[in-house]
Chains A and B, each alone.
Chain A
Amino acid sequence: MNILISSTSGEPIYAQIVGQVRQMILQGELVSGTPLPSIRLLAKDLQISVITTKRAYEELEREGLINSVVGKGSFVSGADQEYIREQRLRIVEGKLKDIIDESRLLGMEYAELAEMLKLLYEEEQE
C-alpha cells in the first residue's frame, strides 16, 4: 500500500489520505478485511500529526469504506459490490461534472462534447 503526501498541493493532508485509500479500495487494490496501519503508525510513517490520520480514518469510516475495532485496529470493510460500484459511479459522475464545467468555459455545446466523448471512447476500445 502506497500513500504519498504532498505538502504543497494545497489539498488538506487528511483529504489526501482519504482520497488515496478510497481509490485503492474502490479499485480493488485493498480487499475487504485487509488491515490498515494503526493511526499512530501511519502518522509516524508519513511524519504527520496523529490527529490528521485520525481524522482521515474517521472520514473513511463515515464513508463505510473501513471499520475500526477497538484494540484491534482498522480494516477495509466488507462492503458489498453493489455499494462499491455505487461509490465508483459517483466518482465518474464527479469527473464528468468537472469536464462539463471546463467545456462550458470554452463555450462548447452539448452536442460537441458528446461527439468528443464518443470519439475518445471508441478510440480507447480499439
Chain B
Amino acid sequence: MSDVIQLDHLTKSYDRFELRDISLTIKEGFITGLIGPNGAGKTTLIKMMMGMVYPDQGSISMFGQNNQLSQAAAIKERIGYVSDESIYYEHLTVKQMRAIIAPFYPRWDQDTYMKFQELFKLPPGKKIKELSKGMKIKFSLAIALSHGADLLIMDEPTSGLDPVFRREMLELLSEHIQDEKKSILFSTHNTTDLDRIADYIVFINDGKIIFNEMKESLGEQYLLIKGGKELLDRDVRRWFVGIRENGLGFEGLISNRAEGERYFKDTAICETPTLEEIMYYTVKGSEAHV
C-alpha cells in the first residue's frame, strides 16, 4: 500500500499559532478524514499540501514526488481541490469559469462535467457570485471530478451544505474511490460526515497530530465511561484523556480500552465513543492540562 501524501517534519510559525513537527502519511486508495477543532491547523496543513503556503521546515511529497517547484504543475494536475471558500472569479458565469479552467487540464472530460452539471443542477448562465454557498461547493466538486484527479483534497467541503446533498456528496466520494488508485483527504469539524465512510482519521489539535489511525481500530482503542462520581479519585482521574462532570455523575474518555473495560465493567456504563466524543474529550483534556 503506497502513500499518496507524505509530510516530513513540517513546521510553520505564525504570530499566534504554530504547526509543530508534523509528520504524516495519507494512504492511496482510501478516504482520510482530517479532524480537529477550528483553529487546530487543518487549513494550514491543506494549504501546504496545495502549495499555497510554504513550510518553514520539513518536506512534502505527493504521489511519491517531492513537492518542489519544478514538479508542482505535474502534481497539481492530479489534485482536485474543493474548499468552502469560493476561489473562483465572482463576476464570471459558471460557463465562463469552466471555459477558463478546462484547458489547463489535459485529462479534462467534458462529458463528465456535463453529467455533474446536470446532477447538481448547476445553472451555466448564472454568475458565481449569485450562487449559494452549497452551489459553489457543488461547482468546485464538479470541476474537481471532471479533470481526472487522482487525489481529492477537500477543506471543509460539507460546511454550508444541506443534509440531503451532504449525503449525496459522501456517496459520490465512495464512488470516486471505487478505483483503488484514487484517494481523498477531507477536512471537517463535523465528524458525523466521517463516522461512516472514512477509512483513516487524522486528528489534529493545537498544531499537533494527536493520532493518524484506521477509524476501524479507534473503537477498539478508546472507551467512553459513564458512571457515578464516587468512582473517581485522583489516580483514576489520571487515566482519562478528558472528563466531564456534573451533579449527576461523570462521562470520560479512556484511551486504553482493555484496561478501562476491566476496571469499570461492573461499576459503570462502557460505550464505544463516536469520533465527536473522542475529539471533544481530547480537546477538553488538553485544555485542562495546560
Please indicate the chain B residues that have their CB under 8 angstroms from the CB of A49 in the complex: 31, 196-199, 215-216
In this assembly, does B177 line the interface, its C-beta being within 8 Å of a C-beta of chain A? yes
Min CB distance A18 to B, Å, is 13
- Select one of B170, B199, B219, B272 contacting A50, CB under 8 A: B199
Please indicate the chain A residues that have their CB under 8 angstroms from the CB of B271 in the complex: 10
- Bound complex: CA A52 to CA B217 (Å): 10
Please indicate the chain A residues that have their CB under 8 angstroms from the CB of B216 in the complex: 14, 49, 51-52, 55
Please indicate the chain B residues that have their CB under 8 angstroms from the CB of A52 in the complex: 216
Residues 75-91 of B at the A interface (beta carbon under 8 Å): none
Please indicate the chain B residues that have their CB under 8 angstroms from the CB of A41 in the complex: 178
Please indicate the chain A residues that have their CB under 8 angstroms from the CB of B174 in the complex: 40, 43-44, 47, 50
In this assembly, does A92 line the interface, its C-beta being within 8 Å of a C-beta of chain B? no
User: Using a Cβ–Cβ cut-off of 8 Å, how many residues does chain A contribute to the interface with B?
Assistant: 15
Q: Map CB proximity to B onto A15-49 as digits: 1 under 8 Å, 0 otherwise.
A: 00000000000000000000000001101100111
- Select one of A10, A48, A55 contacting B197, CB under 8 A: A48
In this assembly, does A12 line the interface, its C-beta being within 8 Å of a C-beta of chain B? yes
In this assembly, does B30 line the interface, its C-beta being within 8 Å of a C-beta of chain A? yes
For A5, give the chain B residue with the smallest CB separation. B196
- Bound complex: CA A43 to CA B171 (Å): 10
Min CB distance B230 to A, Å, is 26
Min CB distance A36 to B, Å, is 16
In this assembly, does B180 line the interface, its C-beta being within 8 Å of a C-beta of chain A? yes
Min CB distance B270 to A, Å, is 11
In this assembly, does B72 line the interface, its C-beta being within 8 Å of a C-beta of chain A? no
For B27, give the chain A residue with the smallest CB separation. A51
Which B residues are closer than 8 A to A by beta carbons? 29-31, 170-171, 174-175, 177-178, 180, 195-200, 214-216, 219, 271-272
